[in-house]
Structure formats: structure tokens, C-alpha cells
Amino acid sequence: MTTRRTSTAKKVTNTKRRAALVQAAAKEKQRAHTRLAVNLLIDYQVLDQFLYDYATNISLGGVFIRSTNPLPVGTKLRVQFSLPGLEETVVTWGEVAHVIEERAKEGFRGMGIRFDDLDPKSKRVIDQLITTGHKALLSSAQRAANSNGKAN
């Protein structure tokens, strides 16, 4: 009898896993913008606090910032970062759209920031990076992460 219960429990667990994978795939298809995996240093400001962490992905719609202390959903913040091919630093306003307490696969916490007002030049550069999977961004960000260590 224990074997049947264990077998049934495994079937239920496998069914839940499949359902979660299907939901994740559907959610990815619903995204408005394609994302690029990065390890990009992001400076951000909330009121009089100046913070920095690393983004794990970027799109025309925003960034996901890995952080041990994610800000609450709805928080407005000023975001700043540099990209290859853009002489000026990207400075824009954003809002915390969602918070992940712990990502099961990556094992870290963070927050999704939705950009409010990217200028046209920054949009073109981000779009080009995502379209081409720009290798310089990935390698320079990795070098910076290795030399600076982990941020909060």
C-alpha cells in the first residue's frame, strides 16, 4: 500500500512540474520584449539612497536586478548603467514591477524594474544588443563582476 501512495505522489508531483513548465513557457511567449541574459552593474537611487547591484537580464521594457534586499513593488527609482556602443550612461526612471524572494534555479532574490522613459538612442542600443547577443557586454560585465566581487 505504501508503494501505491508513493507512486501516486510521484505522479502528482510530475504533473505539477509539467504544468509549471507549461505555464512558464506561456508566460515567456506573452512577454512584450525579448530579454538578454547579462551580468551588468546597475546603479540605482531611491530618494536619498544610492545603491548598486547586478542585472541578470535586460530588455527594452526593463531589467531584473539581483538583490539581497529587493525594494517593494511600486517603488519608483532612478536607474543608471553603461552599455557598449553608447558613449553616454543610460539614465532613466523605473518602477519595481515584481519581486522574487528566491529564484529556485539561480538561488537568489531580486526585483524586476520596468523602465518608464528610455530615450530613443538608449532604446536603439539595447535593441541592438539583444538582437545580436552582443558578446562585449557579457565579457566586460563578467570582468567587472570578477574584479568587484558581489554587490548587495
Is 72 a residue whose pLDDT tops 80? yes
| Whole-angstrom distance, CA of residue 69 vs CA of residue 56 | 15
* pLDDT for 20: 54
pLDDT per residue as tens digits for the range 9-67: 556 566 766 655 555 445 545 556 788 888 889 999 999 999 999 999 999 999 999 99
56 contacts 39 by C-beta, under 8 angstroms: yes
Is 138 a residue whose pLDDT tops 80? no
pLDDT per residue as tens digits for the range 98-117: 999 876 566 788 999 999 98
Q: What is the pTM of this model?
A: 0.65
Is 73 a residue whose pLDDT tops 80? yes
CATH class of 36-148: mainly beta
What residue segments make up the domains of the chain, in order of their start?
1-30, 36-148
